[in-house]
Each structure stands twice: as structure tokens, then as C-alpha cells.
Amino acid sequence: MPDQTVIVFERSGPAATGLQPWDPLPAEILHSGNPVQNGHTYHETGGGVFTAGVWDCTEHQMISSPYEVDEFMIVLEGSIIIEHDDGESRRFREGECFVIPKGTPCSWKQDEYVRKFWAIHDPQTGLAGDPALHAILADPHAPLLPMAGLDAADFESEVPEMAKLTLYQDPTGKFEAGIWECSPMQRVPAKLARSELMHILEGNGSIINGDGVVFDFVPGDTFLVPVGMGYQWRSETPVKKFYCSYTP
């Protein structure tokens, strides 16, 4: 049976279909606007617990309520204002990445057209608003923490220098979002234990699946490696990325 492959995210969706119309947002959750939304789901695992894709939508504002899911987003066009119930408001602009934890009391506001890549973790558990939760910006210039305890057996190269900043991890520990960087390295082939969405900020390299199919990446690429895929990472330059992952 052929191995799975890297899933490349395109801002306009797959070339064959593009973005498809999605059902209107329910009127009862809208504060204003008559939004038109389109999208494409590139990946789904865990019976819908983790999904990822691309979405666009026209102007609108939603009624304030606890955010229903954990969501990781990369803004491709336009901007999004998150108005928190404690009065804090933040606009996330084109090129920025951010996370909204499930249960964040807030209102989603768009005063312009928006397009984004997204990954949603929906543990399908009860929802309780937590006023301590806020939307979190992924700052590519934030200091990262060195990762200790790397096992030499995991690498065909010398053990690299890795560092990361975990922006958010859900209470189950299955969903995580953050920033990661690594010196040049080559991993040994293995089966991936998680689904991971990556957006490359710096550097280039390759990912090889179990069939030997090579996927080359460069800065600006966004792609997902699905759980269970044969996985070998090779990079000859330092690499830095935004990421979110779901481990079943």
C-alpha cells in the first residue's frame, strides 16, 4: 500500500476545485454583517477532532462567547480583530500567525475580507469560558528555549541544536502550537506519531516519505505531514517555522 504524502496548502485551494462555498454562518451567532464564506479542508483525523485547511470570508462580527475550539491561524489576506470580554482588543494582520485557545471569551470581528490557513482542534468536550485566556500572537522574533535530551539514535547527522517556544498546549496535551528552530540535521526514517502543520519562516530542506518521495520546502511554504506517514527530515541550513500538531 502506498505511503501517505506531504499535503501542500495552497491559498486558493486545490487547483482542480479551488475554494468551495460553505454554509452561511448561523444568524444567532452574528452581531452584524451577512458574511459569505468559502473553504477547503485539506486534512482531517481523529473523527474530526483535528482538521486543517484554507478559508475566506467577507466582513462580519460575531456575538461574544467562549471560543468553541482551539484554533491556529495564518492570516493570508486582510486582518482579524479579536475583542476580548475584558476589554482587550487585538488586530492580527496579513502575514501573522496566532492561536485562540478553546474557551477564550471573545468576539471575532472582520472589517474587511479575510483569507487564512487554519488548523482546528475540537476535543468535543464541554465548553467553559476562562477570562484568563486570550488570543496569542506567534512572534517570530521571540526568544526560544533550547531543547535538551535529544537522542543521538534519532539522527543520521550529528545531534543538532534545537529550540522552541510553546505558545499553547491544550489541557489534554494532544494539541500544541508554537515556534521551532533547528540547526542543519538529518533524522533517521520513522513513522510520524502526530499530524503537524508547518509554515516555514527561514531555511530550506526536504521531507522524504516511506516510498522515497521527496518534498522540498523553502521559506513561505505551508504544508502538513499526516500522522502515520513515513518521515525523514533533511536540512542543510538552519530552519525556523511556525507549527501546530495533534497527537492522537
Distance between CA 33 and CA 12 in Å, rounded? 24
pLDDT at 126 over 80: no
Helix (H, G, I), strand (E, B) or coil at 153: helix
On average, the pLDDT of the chain sits at: 96
pLDDT digits (tens, 9 = 90+) for 36-62: 999 999 999 988 999 999 999 999 999
> Predicted confidence band at 191 (pLDDT cuts at 50, 70, 90)?
very high
Distance between CA atoms of 76 and 99, rounded to whole angstroms? 15
Mean pLDDT confidence for 142-163: 98
* pLDDT tier for residue 104 given thresholds of 50, 70 and 90: very high
Joined together, the cell numbers standing for residue 138 give 506567534
Q: Per-residue pLDDT averaged across 2-16, rounded?
A: 97
pLDDT (0 to 100) of residue 127: 66
- Using 50, 70 and 90 to split pLDDT, how confident is the model at 202? very high
Residue type at position 243: Y
Distance CA 29, CA 227 (A): 34
Domains of the chain: 7-137 (2.60.120.10), 145-246 (2.60.120.10)
